Structure 1
C-alpha cells in the first residue's frame, strides 16, 4: 500500500488545479468572495496604526485640545475600520455559501456521471462502498479547502505582507524581523506538511477508504453472509482492516502533533525577537509609547494569523488528501466511449444474436 501510493504525484499538484478550474466556472462569485475577505483583512491591518496614535494622544494629557482632537479621530478611525471589516466579511461569507455548494454539487454530479459510464470491468474490480466513500469524502473536503484558501490563507498572506511593509516603513529592522520570521515559519510548516505529514495521510486515507468499502460490501451482501453462517468470518476480516487503519491514522495524527509543537517553538522565538526589538527601540529613544503599542498590537495580529496559518496549512493538506481519490475518478479514462456523433439506438424490429461471444474475469483464461 505504501509503495503504490508513494509513486503517485503529490496530491496538492493534482487537486489544486482541479479546484481552480471549477472556481473559474463562477468568476463573479469567486471575485466577490476574494474581495470581501481581503478587504476585511486590510481594514484590520490598519487598526494598530490608529491604536498607536490613540495612545500617543492620551499620553499628551486631557488638557491639550489638539491631543483630544487626535484621540477622537483615532477612535473614530478604529470604529470605522471595524464596521468596514464587518461589512466586507459579511459579503464574503454570504457569497462563499452558494459558491461552495455549486462547486460541491458539480463535482459530485460529474463524478457520478463518470462512474456510471466506466466499463463493467472497472465496476467488477472496484468496491462500490469504497467508490461511494471517495466521492462523498471528496465533496466535503472541497468545503474545507474553499474555506481554508479563501477565508484563511489569502487574508493571512495580506496581513503578513502588509505588516512587514508598514513596520518596515518606520523601522526597517523590525520589518526585516517580521519578513524573516514569517518566511521561516511558513516554509517550515509547508515542508513538514508536504514531506512529513502528507505521505502518512495519503496511506491512512487509503485505509479509510478500504474500511468504508469493507463495511458497505459486507452489509450489502449480508444475505449471502447469513446463508453461509459467515458472520464471524466477516467480523474477523473487518477487525484486520480496522487494525491496519488504526495504526496508519495514529501515525498520521502523531505527525500532526509533532508539526504543531515545532510551529509553536518557532512562534516563541519570533515573539521574543519582535517584542525585544520594540523595547530596544524605545530604550534608545527611537520609539514613543504609542509606537510600542503599535508594534505590540501589530505583532499580536501577526501572531494570531501565523498561529492559524499552521492550522490552515494542516487543513489544506488534509482536504487535498481527502480529495485526491475523487480527482482521480475525474481523470480516470472511461474505458469504452461512444463513437463521435453516436445517437440512441432505435430498434424497429428483428432480434439480437450473440455470435462467438466469450466472457472471463480479468486475470483468468
Structure 2
C-alpha cells in the first residue's frame, strides 16, 4: 500500500501558497497574539513579588502593574480577532480552489476510470478532501503552530528566570514530540485502513441504492444486508482499534505531564531555598505549565487528527497524482472536419492484456456515408464507437478523420464534431431545457424547442406542469427509457455535428414513436457521416451500407437487399429471426 502523505502536503501547500500575503499576516498575527499572552504572566509575577514584600506604600505601583496586564490582554484579544477574520477568508478560499482542482482533474479521467469506480465513493473522496485540508490547516495553525510558538516564547522567559528550568523543559518537550510522532506514524496505517473501508461502505451503499429494484426483484435483501453487515463489522473493529490507540496515547501523555510538573516544582523549591527564585517565579512557572499543558494535552490529539485527515485524503491524492489514461499530446491541433471521412487503419486494441477485441482491423467510412454496424453481441460494434470518441487509446494502428490522426488532436475538438445518442442516455438532474441545451450552450429557447419537436420529445415535455423547466431526477430517473432517448436525440439534433452516431438510439421507443423519429433522423443524417449501431434491423434498412461485425472482424457488408439474399449469411439469419422466422 503506497503512502501519499508527501503528495497530499504538496498539493495542499501549492494551493495555500497562492495567498502568500494572507499567510504572512496570519503568521505575524499568531506570533504577536502569543507574545502578548506569554508576557501577561510576567506582570502577575511582578505583582506577586510586590505583594509578598509587604510594602503597602507601593500600592500605586501595583495598580500600574494591573493596568499594564490589562493592556497586554487587550493586545492579545485584538490580534486573535484579526487572525480569526483573516483565516475566515483564507481557509474557505483554499478549500474552494481544492474542490475546483478535484472536479477538473476527476472529469479528465478516462471512461475506464469511471467504469471501475463507484460514483458514490468518488463523491465522498472529493468532499472529504476539502474537509481534510480544513482539519489539517486548523490543527497546523490554531494548535500545533501556536503550541510551537508558545513553547519557544515560554522557553525564552524560563531561560531568563533560570537556565535550569529552560533546559529541563526543552528536554521534556523534545522527548514528548519524539514519542508522539513515533506513535502517530505507527497508527497511520490503521487510519488509512479505516478510510479505505469507509470508501468501500460508501460504494456498497451507492451500488445497492442504485440497484434497489434488482434487490427487490431477485430477493436479495437478506444477502445484501449480510454483506453490508460483514463490511460494517470490519469497519467497527478497525475504528475501535484506532480509538483504543488514541486512549493509550492520552494515558502516556498524562503521566509525562505530571512528572514534569513535579520535577520543576522540586527544582524550584531547591532554588528558592538558596534565594535564586522568588515566590512570583513559582506563580510564573505554574501559569506557564498550565498554558503549555493545555496546548500539549491536546497536541497528541491534534497530531492524530492530522494523520487521520491525511488518511482521509489519501485516496483522492492517489487520483490526483495518477496520470490521465487518455491525454492530449503537447501542442495537439484542433480537429477540422470538412468532409467527415473516417478511416480505421490496421488497428489493434484489447480491453485486457493479451486479449484483442480487434487485430489489424481496417474499416473506412466515406464522407457523408450512412453506415450501420450489426452483428452478435460482443463482436466489437460499440467498441468502434468508443475508439472513435477516443475513450480508449489504440495498442497499434491509427484512426483518422479527414486524414487527421485523432490521437494527435485535442479530445475536446474531436468530441465537439461528433453527436452521440447512446443506448442508455444519462441526464443531469436539471431542467429539460438545460439538458437539451447542454449540446449547444448558446442555443436559444426556440432552437431547443425545435430540436425537441423533431425528436418527438415536445409532446411529453409539454404535458408536464413545469414543461421544459421540469427536473428529471438523478440520471433522468423520472423519465421513462423512451423519454430519455428522445431527449438524447433532441440533444444530438441541436448539436448538429458533422459526424452522427446512434448506438441503439431507438431501442426503448414504441413502434409509433420510432416511426416518427426515423423520419426526423433521416432528415438529420443528410450530409452527415453517420454510424448506427443496431440490433433491431428494421431501423437500418435504408442505410447506405450495412457492416456485419463478429469477433472483431468484418464478416459481411453491403445494402440490406443484398445481405438478406446471401445464403447462410449472418445478417440473413438475424433478419429471419427478427422478421418472425427461424434461423436454419
TM above 0.5 = yes
* Higher gyration radius (CA): 2
The Cα of 1:61 is off from its aligned counterpart by 3.4
Question: 1:254 offset after TM fit, Å?
Answer: 1.0
Q: Which has the higher strand share?
A: 2
1:355 deviates by: 7.4
Asked if the contact 1:141–1:323 (Cα under 8 Å) also holds between the matched residues in 2, the reply is: yes
Q: For residue 294 of structure 1, what is the aligned residue in structure 2?
A: 284
Q: In structure 2, what is the equivalent of residue 104 of structure 1?
A: 95
1:171 positional shift: 0.9
- Report what 1:270 is aligned to: 260
Hey, what does 1:217 align to over in structure 2? 207
Aligned partner of 2:119 in structure 1 is: 128
Task: Give the structure 2 partner of residue 201 of structure 1.
Answer: 191
The answer on whether the counterparts of 1:33 and 1:92 sit within 8 Å (CA) in structure 2 is: yes
Distance 1:38 1:347 in 2: 62
Match of 2:500 in 1: none
- Equivalent residue for 2:272, pick from 234, 259, 282: 282
| Alpha-carbon distance in 2 for matches of 1:289, 1:23 | 47
Q: Match of 1:239? A: 229
Counterpart check, 1:23 vs 2:13:
no
Q: CA separation in 1, counterparts of 2:109 and 2:149?
A: 44
Task: Give unmatched runs, 5+ long, in structure 2.
Answer: 356-584
Equivalent position of 1:321 in the other structure? 311
C-alpha distance in structure 1 between counterparts of 2:293 and 2:343, whole Å: 74
* CA-CA distance at 1:37 after TM superposition: 1.9
TM-score, normalised relative to structure 2: 0.58
Cross-structure match for 2:81? 90
Q: Which of residues 158, 161, 172 in structure 1 aligns to 2:149?
A: 158
Cα distance between partner residues in 1 of 2:283 and 2:325: 65
Distance 1:278 1:309, change over 3 A: same
CA distance in 2: counterparts of 1:308 and 1:77, whole angstroms? 30
> What are the Cα deviations for residues 51-80 of structure 1, in whole angstroms up to 9, with x where unaligned?
10011122233632xx32331232122111
Aligned-pair distance for 1:364? 8.2
1:254 alignment partner in structure 2: 244
TM-superposition CA deviations, 1:110-154 (whole Å, max 9, x none):
112111111112222222222212111111111111111011111
Structure 1 residues 104 and 362: CA distance shift in structure 2, 3 A: farther
Structure-2 change in CA distance of 1:40 and 1:129 (3 Å): same
Q: Which runs of 5+ in 1 are unaligned?
A: none
Deviations 1:196-254 (A, max 9, x none): x1111111111111111111122123233334332332212211211111111111111
Structure with greater helix percent: 1
Runs of 4+ aligned residues of structure 1 deviating over 6 Å after TM superposition are: 353-359
**Normalising by the residue count of structure 1, what TM-score does the alignment of the two structures yield?**
0.90
The reply to whether residue 39 of structure 1 matches residue 27 of structure 2 is no
- Give yes or no for contact 1:282–1:292 (8 Å, CA) kept in 2: no
Query: Is the contact made by 1:198 and 1:321 (CA closer than 8 Å) also made in structure 2?
Result: yes
1:179 aligns with 2:176: no
Contact kept? 2:161, 2:281, Cα under 8 Å: no
Q: What SS is found at the alignment partner of 1:24?
A: helix
Question: Shift of the alpha carbon at 1:334?
Answer: 0.6
* Candidates 312, 319, 328, aligned match of 2:302: 312
Which of these residues, 159, 178, 186, is aligned with residue 168 of structure 1? 159
RMSD between superposed Cα atoms in Å: 2.1
1:66-85 equivalent positions in 2, closer than 5 A:
67-85=58-76
Q: 1:227 to 1:115 in 2, by over 3 A?
A: farther
Q: For the residues of structure 2 that align with 1:351 and 1:223, how far apart are their CA atoms?
A: 44
Instruction: State the distance in 2 between where 1:304 and 1:265 align.
Output: 14
Conservation of the 8 A alpha-carbon contact between 1:53 and 1:70: no
Match of 1:350, SS state, is coil
1:117 is matched with 108
**Structure 1 counterpart SS, 2:54:** coil
Shift in Å, 1:263:
1.1
Equivalent-residue separation in structure 2 for 1:346 and 1:199 (angstroms):
51
Number of equivalenced pairs: 355
Q: 2:122 & 2:349 partners in 1: Cα distance?
A: 25
Q: Secondary structure at the match of 1:251?
A: helix
SS of 2:18's equivalent? coil
Q: CA deviation at 1:354?
A: 6.5
Q: Do the aligned partners of 2:198 and 2:235 also contact (CA within 8 Å) in 1?
A: yes
Q: Is the 8 A contact 1:182 1:306 kept in 2?
A: no
